[in-house]
Structure formats: C-alpha cells, structure tokens
Amino acid sequence: MTSPHPVARRTVEPSFFERRRRTGIVLSLLVLVACGALVGAATGVVMAEVCRMVLSHVLADL
C-alpha cells in the first residue's frame, strides 16, 4: 500500500549551500592557521632581535 503523499528523499550529494558552508569553514581554518604562522614568525623574529641585542650588550660589558 502506497502513501497518498510523496515521500521526499534526501539526495546523496550535498546541496550547493552545504558545500559552500563546508568550503567556507575550511577556508576560514586555513586563514586562521596562516595568520597564526605569520604571528608566530613575527614573534620569533622580534625575540631573536631582542636576544641579539641583550647578548651584544652583555658581551660588550665583558
């Protein structure tokens, strides 16, 4: 016996908006990782410069 109302079936493929949302999340994560890497690199450069200055002053005092 069949139902009088058609049954909506979910397609296997994700819809356009679902794919777009997932792509947006992945891109956001990649941008965050890239920004974190840039901030980490900049912090490392600054710390290396501070250490170099401190060591040069300490060695000059010896």
CA atoms within 13 A on the CB side of 47: 6
Q: Are 22 and 14 a contacting pair, CB within 8 Å?
A: yes
15-54 pLDDT, tens digit per residue, is 877 778 888 899 999 999 999 999 999 999 999 999 999 9
CA dihedral 47, 48, 52, 54 (to 10 degrees): 20
* Global pTM exceeds 0.85: no
